[in-house]
Amino acid sequence: MTVRKWLSWFGKTLAVGAGSALITGLFLTRATLTSPSEVLVAAVSYAWFGLLFGAVSQMGLFAFLWVQRLGLGLVRRPFVWNGFLLVLVAVAFVDVAYLRHAAFGAGEPLLAYFALPAGVLAWAVAGAWWKARLTHRRAFVPTLFYLFAGTLLEAVPVLRGDNPVQIALMLIPLLCCNTWQVLTLHKLTGSEETEEAKRRVSLGLGAARPRRG
């Protein structure tokens, strides 16, 4: 990956964050915006927040790639490492529901608090499935972990509160940015089936499948 490619990729990630935050924010708060000036101020604010979320997403991805490389270097068996990632996904799923219920759900059924992690997990499964189709099936579990556990970790500041609008305003752009990055990462690192590409497959990063014909 060259610096030029990375800058272009980073800029597009920021654009995804700004656009998704802008659309999400204006949609969720449309009833409270009563004048063009309020709409303009809100739009600028949401776009700015989206840029910040895009930067957070980029840092989260590189942190995950470092952890992925370190974990596989220590374990040396991808199926063991993937099993560990799946356990962490399950723990994160239960913890998000349980901790939020303990903090905000007095007198409410616990089951209702599984809706948020279930929605994120459904998105993560779809993204991981698509990443596996674009690259290699070994990319499924690492991508699932990153899109689910990584996104929830990045969204911890709003998950500590109980404001649905704030949660959606941060969580949706993060999901969009994280998905965009993980689905396009292999395009930056090359699509030819070289030894380096094979090594990335073994790391679960997923080199692109060679074209046929």
Yes or no: say if 48 and 64 are a contact pair by the CB < 8 Å rule.
no
CA distance 44 to 209: 40
Q: 158 CB contacts (<8 Å, ≥6 apart)?
A: 166, 167, 169, 170, 171
Decide if pLDDT at 193 tops 50: no
Decide if pLDDT at 163 tops 80: yes
Q: Which long-range contacts (CB under 8 A, 24 or more apart) does 60-63 make?
A: 60/150, 60/151, 60/153, 60/154, 60/178, 61/146, 61/150, 61/178, 61/181, 61/182, 61/185
Pick the range with the lowest mean pLDDT from 98-102, 132-136, 171-175, 202-206.
202-206
CA distance 1 to 63: 17
pLDDT of 205 reads: 53
pLDDT of 202 reads: 43
Mark 147-169 as b/e (b = at least 16 C-beta within 10 Å). Answer: bbbbbbebbeebbeeeeeeebbb
pLDDT of 204 reads: 54
pLDDT of 188 reads: 82
Token pair 């840092």: residue: 59
Decide if pLDDT at 142 tops 90: yes
**pLDDT tens digits, 86-117:** 999 999 999 999 999 999 988 889 899 999 99
**pLDDT tens digits, 67-93:** 999 998 888 888 999 999 999 999 999
**Band of pLDDT at residue 195, cut at 50, 70 and 90:** very low
CA distance 88 to 83: 9
Q: Which amino acid is at 85?
A: L
| Stated pTM of the model | 0.87
